[in-house]
Structure 1
Amino acid sequence: MNATIKRKKQAKVLRIFRKVHRLLGAFLFIFFFIIAVSGLLLGWKKNSGGIILAETKKGTSGDLNKWLPLEVLYNKANDVVSDSIHSDKVITLDRVDIHKDKGVIKFIYQDYYGLQLDGVTGDLLEFGKRQSDLIENIHDGSVLDTYFNTSGSPFKLAYTTLMGIALLLFTITGFWLWYGPKRMRKA
């Protein structure tokens, strides 16, 4: 009698885990799909032949003493952006990456544009949309913070918290759906 009651309790727990697993899967399917596809693309970005992430070009020299002053390079970058993007919207600089070993300085803008200049001559080496930044922002949910111009990244925090907890619950319930029947068979 005791073994039957124990087996019924185990079966009940298994049904609850199956229901949670199924409901989570149905509710969060689209989010898991987006994370999987964007994660796959991000994993391949450096091997995409410049489609997802522009390859870093080679400048004239890595000797910083030969480079133009940062202000001159910054102004050249802004001239390229203002001449190339015909928009009333102000394109804001997000960050500057210096690749001393390649002699290149990268200017990365908030609206997913980026350009590379030769540090010595200031010549434009590469300009275009940074697909990898957009994909990364989709992957972590911060694309909504960018779109709604929020501060403190509330969408990213909510999205990553929700998806992290969901993945944790999926792992636990999935393990139990695998292990539970094995345990019941042994008993």
Structure 2
Amino acid sequence: MRKETKRQRQAKLLRIFRKIHRITGAALFIFFFFIAITGLLLGWKKHSGGIILSKSYKGISTDLKDWLPIDSLNTLANYYLLKTISPELSTDIDRIDIRKDKGMVKFIYTEHLWGLQLDGATGKLLHVDRRYSDLIENIHDGSILDKYLGTSDNQVKVFYTTVMGVALLIFTITGFWLWYGPKRMRRNNSTA
């Protein structure tokens, strides 16, 4: 049995890396497609002219001493949500985004994509919007499946981001080797 040459070992390694690269790419193509598209949209959200991310409206005072208490603002936000959009919606708050420099408070809800902007001092409704940026982010990181399946601790998101992160690492390594391997073989060939 003859001994395998260095060039044959390099060629064999290159074929293995090419196969791993091809199989991983084919298996995860649709996921990479969604990550790429949603990543582009998220990168452009502040420059979308209010389509992806609504502009932030201004209240009358940036001095917190003039503002209503948060529980009063929360009550008003829930009132506006149920009156303006639908009395059927959940009022469970996901987060409250205080924009002191704009004199405004954003209320973002857990069970739906509606958000409200209220004047911090008067409690007046400044703006109601659909939070498309949140939807895009949920698609991007896979958490939309956790919401759809009702998982308790973002298990789908963790699994999805782990698989996609490892796949990107594999793509980087195999892609580099597919570029560098032939160069190395040619260099070794010319010195031999």
Q: What are the superposed Cα offsets for residues 18-77 of structure 1, whole Å, 9 maximum, x if unpaired?
A: 011001111000000000000000000111111111111111000111111222211110
1:31 equivalenced with 2:38 (yes/no): no
Q: Which residue is 1:134 aligned to?
A: 135
Ranges of 4+ aligned residues in structure 1 off by more than 2 Å:
84-91
How many residues are aligned here?
186
Partner of 2:115: 114
Once residues 140 and 131 of structure 1 are traced to their aligned partners in structure 2, the CA distance between those partners, rounded to angstroms, is 14
* Displacement of 1:112: 1.6
Quick one: distance in 1 between partners of 2:147 and 2:84? 22
CA distance in 2, matches of 1:185, 1:4: 18
Report the AA paired with residue 118 of structure 2. L
> TM-score, normalised to structure 2's length?
0.92
Gaps of 5+ in 2: none
What's the C-alpha RMSD, in Å, of the aligned pairs?
1.5
| Cα offsets for 1:148-169 (capped at 9, x unmatched) | 2211100000000000000000
Tell me how far apart the structure 2 counterparts of residues 31 and 55 of structure 1 sit (CA, whole Å): 30
- In structure 2, the residue matched to 1:167 is 168
What are the within-5 Å matches in structure 2 for residues 19-58 of structure 1?
Answer: 19-58=19-58
Matched, 1:179 2:185: no
Query: Residue 144 of structure 1 aligns with which residue?
Result: 145
Residue 74, structure 1, aligned to residue 74, structure 2: yes
In the alignment, structure 1 segments of 5+ residues that lack a partner are none
- 1:61 corresponds to 2:97: no
**What is the CA deviation profile of residues 88-124 of structure 1, one whole-angstrom value per residue up to 9, with x for unaligned ones?**
4524210101111110011011112111000111111
SS of the residue corresponding to residue 21 of structure 1 reads: helix
Range with greater deviation from structure 2 (36-45 or 145-154): 145-154
CA contact (8 A) 2:68 2:122 kept: yes
Equivalent position SS for 2:94: strand
